[in-house]
Amino acid sequence: MVRYLMKILLTMGVAVSLTCPAGLAEAYEVQTMPQVKAEMLQADYWIHKIANPDQVILNPGQIEEFNREIIRKLPDSVYNLADYPSSWTREQLTRVIDYPFPSEPSYMGAEVVAASYWQQLKRQMNLDGLKEKNQVQYGFTVKRSNLKIYPTADVIGDEPNDPAFDLFQNSAILAAEPVVILHHSLDQQWYYVQMYNCLGWLPAADVAVCDRNTWLDYQNEPDFLVVTGNYIRLDQDPFLPQISAMEFTMGTRLPLVKPEDLPDSMRGRRVYQNYVVKLPVRNMSGQLEFVMAPIPISHDVTIGYLPYTRENVIRQAFKMQGERYGWGGMLNGRDCSALVLEVYRCFGFRLARNSDAQRLSAGKTLSFEGYSVAYREKLLQSVSPGASLHFSGHEMLYLGEDSGRYYVLSDLGSFAEIKAGETELHSVRVRTVVINDLNVTRASGVPWIEALTTAKLLEKTSFTDLANHPDRAVIENLADNYLVQGVSATEFNPEGTVSRAEFAAMLCRLWKLEPDQAEAQGQFTDVSDQWYAGVVGAAVKAGLFQGSDDKKFHPEAPLDRAQVAVILSRVPEISATGADGDQLEKFRDRDSIPSWAKEAMNKAIAKGLLRCQTPDQIAPLDLVTRSEAAVILDALLKMPAGEE
């Protein structure tokens, strides 16, 4: 019994009592992934490595704006349901509901699914019941449930006897979640619904239908609880069996009952030391009713959203350690993208459902593609803990570096390893939330760190000195993608000049040129170990820059527009093409263009890489400002494929 208690305490990260017998604290070691030490299982171990872990990253208003930006970037994946269409045509609904059945053999238990099963499922989709114009309905989930691709509770696998994987599982949906009802199954037992980030079939018994005004009012209740524990459970309630011992998982939002509406007693008890929430329930006719439910203040909940800090992100994620992986949220679990989504729901974020959409969503985005392992490790040093890391088919939360290894918290399906005495990789099915380092190997044999494509930080660049600048959006978007940097965390200095070293750094980031300090040191006497040594070497090696005859690079020298045009003309895709006619004849200051820069400036104007100062002035000798350099970078980024 004592050993079992120790196992629980160690798993929860609870300090062991000093009254335990000597050595008992080390008597039981939980299993971990390779290269994971026991102390790494504590959130504080990683939080102590973070500078200013309690600094608020975005306030609630900024998070709301961030959510709007998510919708703007992913208009086909994430919705403000209040703006959702009130009707759908037959053609529109058929397009989303009539999802193709698997082409490969599928299994229900040990048996191959027969053709007759698919035929019956097709009838259940009730496509013949669609009208030319279909009005939507509104409702709320009355419990955590599963959104399915087809209207059935059957578990259908891609191999025999795997009840933990369901091809039909689309997503879990939390309790008290608003949905738009688009259609119903032939037997009326399923609704086809849209939640804010996912479509699917939901058991009708798990939905309470209401009018639109009630639906909007409940979503807009100003005071609410957020479940911040891995899960909480209501007390047993013999008077309301539909909510008795109901479970709520992390990120669930539950409106609070107004103080003036609280009764003196509730179903035979006084609810002292309890929050009282307003829960949606389904009555006998399937319509929405609300009931009050007490939640003890000892439960892991918070009034309103948690402050968005790196410390809080790590603490929330660590509450899920050891939990079962659930494909698409089945088995009351989470998959990798749902773990990230539900952690960030605690701060008010409304993320896309799947990993790829989250990767393409709003926020700061650092690309790892095209870089060596050594440079990927260097890039990871600039990634803040709590960011999501992505590669094809998986995402995880970054924790930080320890002894030269880079660690993540991951809702892990499987990895590959070579067993002792063998040479071949074997797939290891994990299906658990674990901590692991990025040297773990995929089934393909590629280490995770080599497979990484992206780091995503849920924050936005905001430079205070760009408040009224016409190029603010361009500059801050480039900064969000790590292509330009400010002179500080809050200022860009848009009218400052750009040095040769700074422009080299911008081009290296744009074209993913890895730093080459040795190249610069071997060519130039004025470059040694400064911050720019690596990018100077890379840019020179790529043929973008040249030094002077005295073997100097002059890294701090500012660039003028003619010099920038010449640098751009050395880009192979630009140098190989000509300009369409004489683009310079319209400028009255064309005679001030140095002879060595005329062809380059002609190309730069033709390709839209240099903006004219006025309609009839090109100002070739004006120094390039930082904002102008950013606009040039943006133009290069947007050049048609094959022309950059």
644 confidence band (pLDDT: 50, 70, 90): very low
In a domain, 184, yes or no: yes
Same domain, 175 and 86: yes
84-111: average pLDDT:
95
With a cut of 60, say whether residue 498 has pLDDT above it. Answer: yes
Does pLDDT of 642 surpass 70? no
| Overall average pLDDT of the 316-331 stretch | 96
Clarify whether residues 137 and 257 are in a common domain. Answer: yes
Residue 460 has pLDDT above 70, yes or no: yes
Q: Is the pLDDT of residue 479 over 80?
A: yes
Alpha-carbon distances, residue 555 vs 31, 501, 512 (angstroms): 53, 5, 20
Domain assignment present for residue 60? The answer is: no
| 606 and 506 fall within a common domain | yes
Rounded to an integer, the average pLDDT of 183-211 is: 98
Residue 162 maps to a domain: yes
Distance CA 574, CA 511 (A): 14
Provide DSSP, 75-125: TTT---GGGS-SEEEHHHHHHHH-PPPPSS--EETTEEPPHHHHHHHHHHT
100/127 same-domain check: yes
- The average pLDDT across 23-29 equals 62
What integer is the mean pLDDT of 405-412?
96
pLDDT, mean over the chain: 92
Over 90: is that where the pLDDT of 417 sits? Answer: no
Q: Kindly report, residue by residue over 348-402, the tens digit of the pLDDT.
A: 999 999 999 999 999 999 999 999 999 999 999 999 999 999 999 999 999 999 9
- Any domain includes 62: no
Residues 6+ away with beta carbon under 8 Å from 65? none
**Mean pLDDT across 121-137:** 97
Helix (H, G, I), strand (E, B) or coil at 569: helix
Residue 494 amino acid letter: P
- Cβ-contact 635, 574 below 8 angstroms: no
pLDDT score for 639: 81
Q: Are residues 441 and 506 in the same domain?
A: no
Asked whether the predicted pLDDT for residue 14 surpasses 50, the reply is: no
Element (H, E) at 410: strand 405-418
Provide the pLDDT confidence category of residue 27 given band limits of 50, 70 and 90.
low
- Position 402 scores a pLDDT of 97
- Asked if the model's pLDDT at residue 577 lies above 90, the reply is no
pLDDT at 574 over 80: no
Cα-based torsion angle of the residue sequence 578, 579, 581, 585 in order, rounded to the nearest 10 degrees? -130
**468 near 601, Cβ under 8 Å?**
no
Q: Output b/e per residue, 197-214; b: 16+ Cβ within 10 A.
A: bbbbbbbbebbbbbeeee
Q: Is the CA virtual torsion 98, 99, 102, 108 positive or negative? A: negative
| 425 or 249, which is more confident | 249
> Tens digits of per-residue pLDDT, 579-634?
667 888 889 999 999 999 999 999 888 888 988 878 888 999 999 999 999 999 99
Is residue 622 domain-resident? yes
Query: Given a cut of 90, is residue 1 above it in pLDDT?
Result: no
CA dihedral sign, ordered 153, 154, 157, 163: positive
pLDDT at 6 over 80: no
Checking if the pLDDT of 428 tops 60, the result is: yes
| Among 359, 465, 357, 272, residue whose Cα is nearest residue 79 | 357
Mean pLDDT confidence for 99-104: 93
Mean pLDDT for 27-32 is: 84
My answer on whether 84 and 215 are in the same domain is yes
Per-residue pLDDT tens for 284-316?
Answer: 999 999 999 999 999 999 999 999 999 999 999
Q: In this model, does residue 512 exceed pLDDT 90?
A: yes
Find the CATH number of the domain harbouring 367.
Answer: 3.90.1720.10
Stretch 407-413: mean pLDDT: 95
- Same domain, residue pair 476 and 550: yes
What does the pLDDT read at residue 578? Answer: 64
Q: What is the mean pLDDT of residues 66-72?
A: 97
Contact 245, 233 (CB under 8 A): yes
Q: Could you tell me if 323 and 440 lie in one domain?
A: yes
- The pLDDT confidence band at residue 13, using thresholds 50, 70 and 90, is very low
Label each residue of 473-500 as H, E or C.
Answer: HHHHHHHHCCCCCCCCCCCCCCCCECEH
**387 lies in the same domain as 530:** no
CA distance 72 to 462: 18
What is the count of structural domains for the chain?
Answer: 4
The answer to whether residue 415 is domain-embedded is yes
Q: Is the pLDDT of residue 233 over 80?
A: yes
Structural domain boundaries enclosing 542: 467-637
Residue 643 belongs to a domain: no
Q: Are residues 253 and 185 in the same domain?
A: yes
Distance CA 311, CA 308 (A): 8
Q: Is there a domain that residue 284 lies in? A: yes
- Whether residue 110 is found in the same domain as residue 183: yes
Q: Are 22 and 132 within one domain?
A: no
